[in-house]
A and B are shown apart, each in its own frame.
Chain A
Amino acid sequence: MKVFKGDPIAKGIAMGKMFFLHEPEENASSVKGGPDEEWQRFLKASEKAMDQLNGLYEKTAAELSEEEAAIFEVHMALMEDEDFTDAIRENIESGMEASAAVSEAGARFSEMFSQMDDEYMRERAVDIKDITIRLKNILNGIEDISVKEPSVIGAGELRPSQTMQMDRKMLLGFVTRYGASNSHTAILARNLGIPAVSGIDDVKDLDGAFVIIDGEEGKVISEPDEETIREYEERSAKIKAQKEELLKLKDEKTVTKSGRSIKLYANVDDIDDMELVKESGAEGVGLLRSEFLYLKSSDYPSEEELFKAYRKAAEEMAPKEVIIRTLDIGADKQIDYFNLEKEENPAMGLRAIRLCLKRPELFRTQLRAILRATAYGNISIMFPMIISTKEVDMIKDLLEDIKKELVSEGSEVGEFKTGIMVETPAAVIMSEELSEKVDFFSIGTNDLTQYTLAIDRQNKDLGDFFDAHHPAVLRSIETTVKNAHKNNCIVGICGELGSDITLTDFFLDIGVDELSVSPSKILELRKHIIASE
């Protein structure tokens, strides 16, 4: 038995025999004709490849959807691309054998895409490799792979046509060496509802072995012993049963037996996760971390890019609320192009709202994008790291100013609520005054704990002193709720404590209005609350 650790890119557990997809050998065909002959061979192979792709298109459109089949239309178009065929022709004319000519041209074009700094564009390199290999296989007389028994598919990286050629009933899961969470492999696995793990360097060696894929923890276990198999069989059955049980609660209200109710919202890191959120049973988005667009790009994102993303979030969730937290950069979240100076004490430095107020252009762009998106759903705006009413006044003036500007430009601005993160002791102490100025609070328990206890949670040596349930933190939360409710200000909790079920009763008791947690935890939390008094 051997355990390999990788990255989980699609959830679930599966076990079965590994079928590794070998890439064809780089052997040139033994018979090589003159340029004319080789060119004719290529044309014939290209025709056959087009037939195959056409078939795959039809099959995918029928079995999945036209949208997922569109990739094969792109493959057909790439195969006919004049630049691509010209390159192959030049190679053949310079004396290369057809398959080598295809190989060289394919490598050149896929290299061009793999060097681009856009992740989606880099995925196109895989498409070019795919058509290149298809052509080479035809030229070299290699048959398409077919999986005859239910198998765990292993590969260096999976190409879309490989997976679509296979009988879906034969696919148990994917193990690959390469492929991120938005790769073809990951998307397909999630669509099929099978697990996938990437980042396994030695996947090739597992060909033919009996393996367990653990898509929850990102592990692959080869030749597991009896006990491990039994353990995973139990876990797999349990996961299935639990999932079914929990899914029944998806559209239920979150109310205790005695009638106390609380809203369960989701924390979202990336707009790509919206699908997941919609399936999670969340009653809204309590914290949309807006850093993702900034972290993903190599330069400041444009207002238009930001607007698109916020609009999408608003539209997908409507009429449910989406709380967008403005940029929280600095401290442990650094971005190269922001060119922030190194600080002695970054946790207490130029971060979050402070950075935004110091760089009005940056803040303005984001606020304009958010306000424009308010016309498309139920958006609220939340500001991080507030310590005084002065900051709130500055922000509100700015919002008013931008709103006027947008209206004068002819843009529509919808209704929206404003709120702040309560994550500093100062905000707790000032909570009564602050709650007069905003519609809602969201208590960020991670930072509030760190600042209240003056303990850096990353520092393992401090473990003995740290107490997640320290009375100072719990009392701060209670004070905040009490003060806020005097002014009809809604209070949510969006830190890790929100999903701590040993505290749920306490939160219900003190009157917390909303808990925002990771989407995967919502149904479990709802189950717990429905069962409590």
Chain B
Amino acid sequence: MKEFTYTIKDEVGLHARPANVVSKEARKYNSKIVVSFNGKTAELRKLMQVMSLGARCGDEIKIVIEGEDEDKAFEELVPFLEENL
């Protein structure tokens, strides 16, 4: 299991376009990727769930990756978020 936190830098927060970009990326991996914020959790691959977290710019989200390709997902996802969220 891999775990990390990330502070959202995108101005509009984790919904609409940025949420879609990140959610799409998560679907590349077989691992289960769960993002949690403010007591709520969402599977990163599911856009509606991700958007319903209501995480905004400056909020800190926690991401847990579990599965066969978790190392790869962890290594690639961190820079991807830095770039896109």
Contacts and interface: CB of A to CB of B under 8 A. Distances in A.
A77 B56 contact: no
Interface string A37-80: 00000000000000000000000000000000011011001100
Contacts of B46: 81-83
Nearest to A113: B52
In this complex, the interface size class of chain B, counting residues with CB under 8 Å from chain A, is 20 to 34
- The interface residues of chain A, by DSSP majority, are classed as helix
Given A73-B20, A112-B52, A305-B56, A121 B47 contact: no
B48 A74 contact: no
Contact of A71 (B7, B16, B45): B16
A292 interface: no
Contacts of B57: 304-305, 308
A242 interface: no
Interface in B51-76: 51-52, 54, 56-58
Contact of B15 (A81, A83, A120, A305): A120
A451 interface: no
Nearest to A302: B58
A118 interface: yes
Interface in B34-56: 45-49, 51-52, 54, 56
Given A77-B24, A83-B46, A302-B58, A121 B17 contact: no
A127 B56 CA distance: 19
A77 B23 contact: yes
Contacts of B23: 77
A78 B45 CA distance: 11
A112 B47 CA distance: 14
A442 to B, nearest CB: 29
Given A83-B48, A121-B15, A116 B54 contact: yes
Contacts of B49: 83
A377 B58 CA distance: 20
A116 B20 CA distance: 19
B6 to A, nearest CB: 13
A294 interface: no
A124 B58 contact: no
Interface in A402-460: none
Given A77-B20, A116-B52, A304-B58, A124 B15 contact: yes
B51 A113 contact: yes
Interface of B: 7, 11-13, 15-17, 19-20, 23-24, 45-49, 51-52, 54, 56-58
Nearest 3 interchain pairs by C-beta: A304-B58, A70-B17, A77-B20
Interface of A: 70-71, 73-74, 77-78, 81-84, 109, 112-113, 116-118, 120-121, 124, 127, 302, 304-305, 307-308, 312
5 contacts: A73-B20, A81-B48, A82-B45, A121-B51, A304-B58
